[in-house]
Amino acid sequence: MKIAIFYRDICSTTSEAFEFLNLASALVEKHEIIFWGGDGANLQLRPEGVRFNLYSDFKDLLYKLPIWFQKDKPDVLIVLGFFLLPNLPVVRSAKRHGVPIVLHPLGQVADEVFAKKMFTVESNVRFMKQDGVYQDTLRQRIVVTANPHLKRLYKWLVGTLLVKQSDAIIVSSKEERRQFRQYYSRPYQDFMTLVRGIIPSDVAGSEPETHFYRETLSYNDCLPNLVFWSRIEWYYKGLDRLLNGVKVVRDRVGSDNIPFRLFLMGPDYRGGISKAVKFINDHELQKSVYLLPPGSYPFGSKTPLRDADGLVLLSRWDTGMTRCLREAMFFGVPVMVTPGTHFADVITDYDCGLTIVDADNPDSVADSLLMLINRQNQVDWRKGASLAAQALTWSRAASQMGQDLERFRHKHL
């Protein structure tokens, strides 16, 4: 099968570009893959066997589209993203050439997205300034204020046309499907799910054998070490939810008896570090919550995740199945998540942690934290994580996606 994938930002440093280049690397083993997208200097991978057709600007795209369709003659076209204007002429051209269209909105049709501006600067942890403090400028604050109104207008105009032209929708989870169907009425059979993979060599390189918490940090005791492993962002990554839950645990047992340590690890984003520090100091959580920004551990090291007793991520929104959770499975680390991470389905399938639905309730978060460190749960969930790691591969993701696309294609012949 010949599959064309259009993504305007394929030559960017976005995490989505990196993810779908990995998917293409696996898909090309059984299918012919052509990436169409905007030209740029930051193409992160050039998978062997994958062809690239790139355009320089919008006018160049309109000129090249008919040429690409006639020359490549794809059996199916996957379009990535929702709030990307070039997607509309692409799907309209696909319709004229009789090519079935599959839209992957990348989690962008969701309540949180329409509520406010999500990002104002680079948000991919792999490319963020490791010593930078990300605060919005006045111009960015104005953009943040105007953004929800513009997105709602886009949803009714361009978005409606884009969805109507699409023959099927790719989602990352049942939660993404639920949110999408709140805005656009599509039958369940129109959806296919992409369960993303991980490449082991990207996770475990030449890591030291020393235990990060017991030996490097000298916490050589039996207290569980939990980690928040992400950019340090207060709202979307749910850091406020997590710290309010820790506060409830402290209120129940006293500051000297909190039965775990929590490490907040990652680069600052939009003042997340300063907000976390203020909360920790205001509520006297210094004995149990530790901030370890980049520089506190070797850049790129996964040892703090490998040696953790649990990973906690209470996101309100993510573009797709959160990468750090897949990395946790590789290391056999149990996780505690929200549906917004798009990881709840994996937890249901493999029993590798717990999903908390009511994460805005600090008591529920506190109860879940205590469940995460329970010894029997640790044993059971580590087994489940190891099973999940075997399933979360790009080869399996590509195989399932290939089968779904074949069924979809035959239905539209």
What whole-number percentage of the chain has pLDDT above 70? 91
Residue 127: pLDDT over 70: no
In this prediction, residues 165-193 reach a mean pLDDT of 96
pLDDT number for residue 205 = 65
What digits encode the pLDDT tens for the residues 319-368? Answer: 889 999 999 999 999 999 999 999 999 999 999 999 999 999 999 999 99
pLDDT at 121 over 70: no
- Alpha-carbon dihedral 167, 48, 59, 9, rounded to 10 degrees: 70
Average pLDDT over residues 236-243: 96
* pLDDT for 132: 52
Domains annotated for the chain, with CATH where assigned, are 2-197+395-411 (3.40.50.2000), 200-392 (3.40.50.2000)
Per the model's pLDDT, the better-predicted residue between 349 and 117 turns out to be 349
For the question of whether the overall pTM of this predicted structure is more than 0.85, the answer is: yes
- Give the per-residue pLDDT at 128: 46
Residues 244-300 have pLDDT tens digits of 999 999 999 998 899 999 999 999 988 899 999 999 999 999 999 999 988 888 777
Q: What is the average pLDDT across 118-130?
A: 47
Question: What pLDDT is recorded for position 309?
Answer: 98
State the DSSP code for 30: T
pLDDT of residue 94 exceeding 50: yes
Does the pLDDT value for residue 389 go beyond 60?
A: yes
pLDDT (average), residues 186-207: 87
Q: Half-sphere exposure of 118 toward its Cβ, with a 13 Å CA cutoff?
A: 20
Residue with tokens 């917004």: 340
β-partners of residue 227 are 263, 311
How high is the pLDDT of residue 85?
93
Burial of 164 (0-12, 13-18, 19+ CB in 10 A): exposed
pLDDT at 149 over 50: yes
Whether the Cβ atoms of residue 84 and residue 17 lie closer than 8 Å to each other: no
